[in-house]
Structures are given as structure tokens and as C-alpha cells.
């Protein structure tokens, strides 16, 4: 993950908001984005809940932009969902 961020440091933009909020998706122009990186909170008290929330974020992004490439980090491998197409999952 660190190598990925270093490689694309000049092309990465960070935004504050929610992918569950349609206004935020328009504001950051997710419809024009080529990729999105969702990073897990390794210090969260409920790892399964965090993984579930991140999977819901993937679904929200895919509903808004079907062409976007998503890199998703999960805390537990057991939470990997096979039905999320075109998504790279890091555990």
C-alpha cells in the first residue's frame, strides 16, 4: 500500500466527505475519476463492521461510476465478497 501511494503521490488527491452522499460524489467528480482507494481503519474497535462499511462504499461508488477502478483494503480476509466485480481487494 505504501509503495502504491509513493508511486502515484503526485496524482493522488485526498477529499473529505462521504461516498454515501450524492452531493459529495458530484463535488469531487467521481464520475470523472479513474480509480478510488478505500483504506481500512486498522485501529477500529469493530473490524467486521469497518469491512462491511467499506464494502458498502464500494457499492455506492460503483452505482455512481461503473467504470471506476477501486482498490479496497479489508481488515479480515473472511469479509472478502466475490460479487464485487472489477475491485482489487487487499487484506
- What integer pLDDT is reported at residue 77 of this predicted model? 76
Checking if the pLDDT of 44 tops 70, the result is yes
Q: Give 70's contacts (C-beta < 8 A, 6+ positions apart).
A: 35, 36, 37, 38, 58, 61, 62, 84, 86, 87, 88
CA distance 25 to 61: 8
**With contact defined as beta carbons under 8 Å apart, do 37 and 31 qualify?**
no
Q: Could you report the per-residue pLDDT of 69-85, keeping only the tens digit for each?
A: 998 888 887 777 754 65
Amino acid at each position: 500500500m505504501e509503495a502504491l501511494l509513493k508511486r502515484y503521490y503526485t496524482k493522488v488527491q485526498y477529499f473529505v466527505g462521504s461516498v454515501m452522499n450524492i452531493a459529495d460524489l458530484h463535488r469531487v467528480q467521481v464520475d470523472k475519476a479513474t480509480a478510488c482507494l478505500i483504506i481500512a481503519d486498522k485501529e477500529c474497535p469493530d473490524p467486521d463492521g469497518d469491512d462491511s462499511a467499506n464494502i458498502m462504499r464500494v457499492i455506492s461508488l460503483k452505482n455512481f461510476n461503473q467504470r471506476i477502478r477501486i482498490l479496497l483494503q479489508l481488515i479480515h480476509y473472511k469479509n472478502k465478497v466475490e460479487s464485487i466485480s472489477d475491485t482489487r481487494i487487499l487484506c
